[in-house]
Chains A and B, each alone.
Chain A
């Protein structure tokens, strides 16, 4: 048994080592304390609401979020705006609908059931407006980047002047955390860019953290219930395992062989 556990742990460690080595690029990302990490990790409600504000006022002019609906903003485990607030947010957007009985398309105020309105008609339009680069959809962006939240958080604060010898084309910017260091998005955040309703000081660092938290929720809207259920499931399994262990000992005690 001991022998078995030893070898099993060793294999698991080796496997872990192998997985770690997946990340070919070794860049030290900026670190911050994320409230949603760990066994009981939960989103910081206020940060999610502020993050949504940064998204709408800054990011959403180029980046879509096609898998999110306005109703999500009022759902449990998210920013938890009140239903009235979420309705008001939805209504502030013009949504294209139709065709109506006459066969015409029309615009109307958004409803809770509508998806987030896209900044561009299609990918081509988005590319045309951004010097050929497509601003990626942000719905699962955090999960689609190797460094996850730390990467996005760092990238937003990673703009600096290019080192001597690095030539940048028109519309290309230097970012020390970007893969290859060249990015087509210019630095978007500056201190005091948005005015937070709750009086929080809108520093670049604060906005980066808030909007990254928001993006994490957007990518994993069920993270809180996953953590809650996970803890219950694992506690239950451990108790059951202990009970089964003693049952096993008892059953095997009928014969002299050790188990």
Chain B
């Protein structure tokens, strides 16, 4: 928390603040010293907060009109689309909002990976972030089940069936999850309940995520600690608020384009067919944001090992602060890591692509290679790189890299040539 003492000006304010320091908190949030060199990749935290609130508000309205029953869910969604005032708008914002949420979270995560934001002293922020990401996937998956279309039903069947891979108790767990012997009404009602609950859990974790962030403060593109707060930082308000606001508006323009002009392009056509337990769709595919993990799951021939691989792909991220042995945070000063970073980005995109394709022939081979590389990156490349890599000299501070005659002159020049903004 900020060091300086804050005292409210008004008498009432002082009286109130002594009992509940809300004003101190508000003051901390506005004055919060933020590195002045943050680039636009840092605006996605704010964008994600917007996404969460949008999903909660639109979700609340949808829940007022939606009926969580296997015989009525599909009808009630059509009722929302046709007869509820602006129901189509609210539903399309909610459905596309999920995709926009994941787009933003992937950018946010890959920003962390590039600038080493997960490293000490920010491990807890990172781990809370991974938990939020896991909960987001759970919420999105259950939300996709609610319209009770073909992809909802069969997606739910495929994913819940993964638990049957657990030895001995697997089958029992699946029956327990379903509340019966197949995905049916009890499954739908519990998914609805959990889908309603999870966003509020995420909201609580977001508070912790931000709290944990405000202890060490933001990382920054140069990846070095703040030397002189007065020189290296700006107060959060108005500098960061306006910059985040500008980036958010650009994001909303893209969002609006999806909602108003191609509202169904991110969904699967089969989900406009009412769920039918007797007809299996030709290809069961999850939403685009889960495809890389789906590819990992299918690349392993054994079901149990496939599930383990898929879960490991996510949980391995939590160990990242210890797998990455380099003391240097920002990839700007890590020439080798920078290259491996972009290979990883390409690898994940390839996994996403093959995840949408049938798991056979060349696609399966590519999926296997890409899966192997994914784990190789975290388990082998990162630990070794920290010892072997010759990093570039880092500047002395965020704002004053050039100090006449300092031993860091070379670093400063280097920094300029890399064109950090």
Contact = CB atoms under 8 A, between A and B. Distances in A.
A binds B: yes
A3 interface: yes
Contacts of A18: 288, 291, 349, 352-353, 356
Contacts of A19: 265-266, 288
Nearest to A229: B260
Interface of A: prevailing SS: helix
Interface in B54-94: 75, 78, 81-82, 88-89, 92
Nearest to B87: A222
B260 to A, nearest CB: 3
Interface in B368-421: 399, 419, 421
Q: How large is the interface on B (under 10, 10 to 19, 20 to 34, 35 or more residues)?
A: 35 or more
A164 interface: no
Contact of A144 (B103, B254, B263, B272): B272
Interface in B252-284: 252-254, 256-257, 259-261, 263-266, 268-270, 272-273, 282-283
Interface residues of A, number: 49
Contacts, number: 112
B243 interface: yes
Interface string B224-235: 000000000010
Nearest to A146: B269
Nearest to B79: A67
A259 interface: yes
Contacts of B268: 22
A102 to B, nearest CB: 29
A168 interface: no
Contacts of B259: 230
Given A143-B272, A237-B253, A258-B421, A244 B260 contact: no
B288 A21 contact: no
Interface string B320-363: 00000000000000000000000000000100110011100000
A72 B81 CA distance: 13
Interface stretch (A198-206, A207-215, A249-257): A249-257
Interface of B: 36-37, 39-41, 75, 78, 81-82, 88-89, 92, 103, 107, 234, 238-239, 242-243, 245-246, 249-250, 252-254, 256-257, 259-261, 263-266, 268-270, 272-273, 282-283, 285, 288, 291, 349, 352-353, 356-358, 399, 419, 421
Top 9 nearest A-B pairs (CB, nearest first) are A230-B260, A144-B272, A241-B249, A4-B40, A143-B272, A248-B242, A140-B272, A257-B36, A67-B78
Given A222-B81, A244-B246, A248-B243, 11 more contacts: A4-B39, A12-B254, A21-B356, A72-B82, A140-B78, A143-B272, A226-B260, A233-B256, A241-B250, A251-B238, A257-B234
13 contacts: A4-B40, A11-B107, A12-B254, A18-B352, A136-B273, A140-B272, A144-B272, A219-B272, A227-B261, A229-B260, A231-B260, A248-B245, A257-B399
Interface of A: 1, 3-4, 11-12, 14-15, 18-19, 21-22, 24, 39, 67, 72, 136, 139-140, 143-146, 148, 179, 219-222, 226-227, 229-231, 233-234, 237-238, 240-241, 244-245, 247-248, 251-252, 255, 257-259
